[in-house]
A = this chain, B = another copy of it.
Amino acid sequence: MNLSENIIITKFLQKLNFKMSETYNFKNDGAYIKIPKNNKLIVTNDSIFESVDFFKNDPPESIAIKIVTINLSDLSAMGCKPYAYTLSLGLPKNISVNWLNRFTKKLYFLQKKYNFFLIGGDLSNTNRISISSNFFGKLKVKNKILLRSGSKLNDDIWLTGNLGESAIGLKIKQKKITLNPLYKKYYINKYLYPKHCFLGDKISQYASSAIDISDGFYGDLNKLIEDNHKGASIKSNFIPYSQKTNKLIKNKKISVNYLLSSGDDYELLFTSNVKNSMIIKKLANKNNIKITKVGKIIQKKGIYIDEKKVNIINKSFQHFF
Determine the interface band of chain A, counting residues with CB < 8 A from chain B: 35 or more
Q: Which of A24, A88, A227 gathers the greatest number of chain B CB atoms within 10 Å? A: A88
Closest to A145 in B: B32
Cβ-based interface call for A60 (8 A): no
| Chain B, Cβ-Cβ closest to A123 | B321
One of A41-49, A279-287, A295-303 at the interface: A41-49
Given contacts A8-B321, A47-B122, contact A147 B31 (CB under 8 A): no
Tell me, in angstroms, the Cα distance from A2 to B44 when the chains sit together. 26
Contacts of A294 in B (CB 8 A): none
Shortest CB distance A47–B (Å) = 5
CA A43 – CA B85 in complex, angstroms?
10
Integer count of this chain's copies in the complex: 2
Q: Is A148 part of the binding interface, using a Cβ–Cβ cutoff of 8 Å?
A: yes
**B49, A130: Cβ atoms closer than 8 Å:** yes
Chain B residues near A122: list those with CB within 8 A. Answer: 45-47, 132
Considering the complex, give the chain B residue whose CB is closest to the CB of A31. B43
10 contacts between A and B (CB under 8 A): A6-B317, A27-B227, A29-B211, A30-B45, A30-B74, A45-B88, A46-B122, A90-B130, A93-B320, A126-B130
A-side interface residues toward B, CB under 8 Å? 2-6, 8, 24, 27-33, 35, 40-49, 51-53, 74-75, 77-78, 80, 86-88, 90-91, 93, 119-128, 130, 132, 134-137, 145, 147-149, 211-212, 223, 227, 317-321
User: Which 7 residue pairs of A and B lie closest in terms of their CB atoms, listed nearest first?
Assistant: A5-B321, A30-B44, A29-B74, A132-B132, A123-B321, A88-B132, A134-B134
